[in-house]
């Protein structure tokens, strides 16, 4: 492993740490940290808030490890209500889009309205409905098709 790779890894690890710390002061902190850790009504809801599935199948994101589960859930960035908003990492602020199902299928900021397949592609491949790459900090997720269906069903319940 060359020095550059090591440097990149160290920077990445540092960024993850700062990202976690900054959630304490982000706009979502209050809604996020008061979420129950158990007693979810559905598998989709559990995944949305904890990035952990009922099936026990790991849901791994491109940023973060198993230990980061929960902190890196969809809710942490897109809000408990799915409406998105502004998140913060150090000096960098980012806008997390509205990912309620009806907002996505109405097109949101994209020209192409999302379908279920396009939502799945966004989550697992990091490409938006128009085919444009989704920028960090949106992670790329490894998640099974049945968990994705459950997650999409949950997004449908967000009003």
Cα separation, 82 vs 78, in Å, equals 5
Cα separation, 108 vs 99, in Å, equals 8
Binding mask 40-69 for ligand HEC (x = CB under 6 A): ------------------------------
Closest CB 3 distance from ligand HEC, rounded Å: 28
Cis peptide before 137 (omega within 30 of 0): yes
Record the tokens describing residue 89, joined without a space. 């990492």
Binding positions for ligand HEC, 87-106, rule CB under 6 A: 94, 96-97, 99, 104
How far is CA 82 from each of CA 1, 89, 117, 152, rounded to the nearest angstrom?
40, 19, 19, 12
> Any idea which residue has 């209050």 for tokens?
30
- Residue 74 within binding range of ligand HEC, rule CB under 6 A: yes
- Residue 139 within binding range of ligand HEC, rule CB under 6 A: yes
Closest CB 29 distance from ligand HEC, rounded Å: 13
With beta carbons less than 8 A apart as the criterion, state whether 39 and 29 touch: no
- Residue 158 within binding range of ligand HEC, rule CB under 6 A: no
- Residue 123 within binding range of ligand HEC, rule CB under 6 A: yes
In sequence order, which residues have a C-beta less than 8 Å from that of residue 132 and are 6 or more positions away?
none
Interface pick for ligand HEC out of 26, 137, 150, 158 (rule CB under 6 A): 137
Closest CB 11 distance from ligand HEC, rounded Å: 16
- How many Cβ atoms sit within 10 Å of the Cβ of residue 68? 18
- Residue 134 within binding range of ligand HEC, rule CB under 6 A: yes
Residue numbers at the binding site for ligand HEC (CB under 6 A): 72, 74, 76-78, 94, 96-97, 99, 104, 108-110, 119, 122-123, 128-129, 134-135, 137-139, 141, 151
């Amino acid at each position: 492993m060359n020095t550059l790779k090591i440097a990149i890894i160290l920077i990445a690890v540092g960024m993850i740490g700062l990202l976690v710390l900054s959630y304490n002061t982000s706009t979502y902190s209050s809604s996020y940290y008061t979420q129950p850790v158990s007693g979810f009504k559905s598998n989709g809801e559990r995944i949305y808030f904890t990035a952990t599935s009922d099936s026990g199948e790991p849901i791994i994101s491109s940023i973060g490890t198993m230990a980061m589960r929960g902190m890196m859930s969809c809710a942490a960035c897109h809000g408990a209500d799915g409406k998105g908003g502004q998140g913060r990492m150090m000096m960098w602020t980012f806008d997390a889009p509205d990912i309620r199902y009806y907002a996505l299928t109405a097109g949101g900021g994209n020209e192409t309205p999302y379908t279920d397949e396009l939502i799945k592609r966004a989550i697992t491949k990091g490409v938006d409905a128009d085919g444009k790459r989704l920028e960090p900090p949106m992670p790329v997720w490894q998640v099974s098709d049945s968990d994705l269906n459950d997650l999409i069903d949950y997004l449908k319940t967000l009003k």
